[in-house]
Structure 1
């Protein structure tokens, strides 16, 4: 982490972080420019480069900051004793929403980074990316699928939900006024639908009831 950066007033820190998150989220590393970042943050280019050597330095910093901030929110939002898959998914989304209340483009940026194909950007965030993936694995490893008859189908539902959530987020960030709270409410509706489908798959069919 760039310790000098944290000597700035919090308002200016957040303005610079949010600007970088937005520019990288919308453009990806290759097409993002520091000119766009300083314009969005309403600062001078000299100030940006006083704290960060180049575009890669900015990217690595905001990625590191984003993962640290998100993991902190997840540690609060996710119940360590919870074992229901769909409750865990809802708690994870709650943590993401809380993180985006302060940094609206934090999760869109992390999603975009998942599809990054520029080698220097991939190498710069590799360690922190692995830490984030392990955190999610640890959360979902607690899920008890025993209540559902078709565990494999439930895991497919989870994969479908993850793709749906990313798709919804991609749609919403292209709108003029991206609001994490409204996106969160929409995501909860899809999670509730997925839960109902999973619970229905665990119930015996009419034919099975007749045979009994």
Structure 2
């Protein structure tokens, strides 16, 4: 779709990608300035729009770029040819293993991490629907990967693990929205964007709550 961009020399592509991560990561989609992006990337505004046609396309390209590299990290095969997290056959241990891989990714690529934090809480009407649609596609792709060779006997009778996973997805979205709205309603907080660690802590508390309620007593 973006052939003219993909055909650029590698360093120029990296500069343009990193400029987007930095500026969107610092400001979010709505407040990010295209002028600031092209200055950071050392290209003209016309060039950016030639490559991507719009600010929205550029933003979604960056999101897709992040998602693809995250998948490569998570699915990196071990000696048996399978991703390392597959060795964890417990539902919540596997979930935690994937979370730790994401944290490793965050440490390695700080600008990408700041960008992804903003994506999670992005509420701009001009991009929100596109993010939601993309997320639905990602979730559908990853569901089968997560459940591969997973031991599900620890769940209580009648509990559908795939419904538990869906609850966790809703929890992650709800935690971001809840803290975003709390910050908007609190006049003592200058910025509407909540602290990412606060979102993560709230999400983890829900994960533990679900584990305690859906696992059999002997596995707690």
Task: Work out whether residues 121 and 177 of structure 2, in 8 Å CA contact, stay in contact via their aligned partners in 1.
Answer: no
Aligned to 1:210: none
TM-score (norm 1): 0.62
Do the aligned partners of residues 140 and 45 (structure 1) sit closer, same or farther apart at CA in structure 2, a change above 3 Å counting? same
Task: Work out whether residues 78 and 88 of structure 1, in 8 Å CA contact, stay in contact via their aligned partners in 2.
Answer: no
Aligned to 1:82: 88
Do the aligned partners of residues 139 and 157 (structure 1) sit closer, same or farther apart at CA in structure 2, a change above 3 Å counting? closer
1:152 matched to 2:162? no
Task: Work out whether residues 73 and 101 of structure 2, in 8 Å CA contact, stay in contact via their aligned partners in 1.
Answer: yes
Q: CA RMSD in A?
A: 4.3
Q: CA deviation at 1:133?
A: 3.5
TM-score (norm 2): 0.60
Aligned to 1:59: 59
Q: CA deviation at 1:163?
A: 1.0
CA distance in structure 1 between the aligned counterparts of 2:17 and 2:203, rounded to whole angstroms? 30
Task: Work out whether residues 172 and 178 of structure 1, in 8 Å CA contact, stay in contact via their aligned partners in 2.
Answer: yes
Do the aligned partners of residues 12 and 54 (structure 1) sit closer, same or farther apart at CA in structure 2, a change above 3 Å counting? closer
How many residues are paired up?
189
CA distance in structure 1 between the aligned counterparts of 2:18 and 2:41, rounded to whole angstroms? 15
Moved more, 149-158 or 173-182: 173-182
Task: Work out whether residues 21 and 105 of structure 1, in 8 Å CA contact, stay in contact via their aligned partners in 2.
Answer: yes
Q: Structure 2 unaligned runs (5+)?
A: 77-82, 184-188
Q: CA deviation at 1:71?
A: 0.9
Q: Structure 1 unaligned runs (5+)?
A: 205-212
From 21, 27, 33, the equivalent of 1:17 is: 21
From 142, 152, 157, the equivalent of 1:135 is: 142
1:94 matched to 2:100? yes
Do the aligned partners of residues 21 and 182 (structure 1) sit closer, same or farther apart at CA in structure 2, a change above 3 Å counting? same
Q: CA deviation at 1:165?
A: 1.2
Task: Work out whether residues 73 and 98 of structure 1, in 8 Å CA contact, stay in contact via their aligned partners in 2.
Answer: no
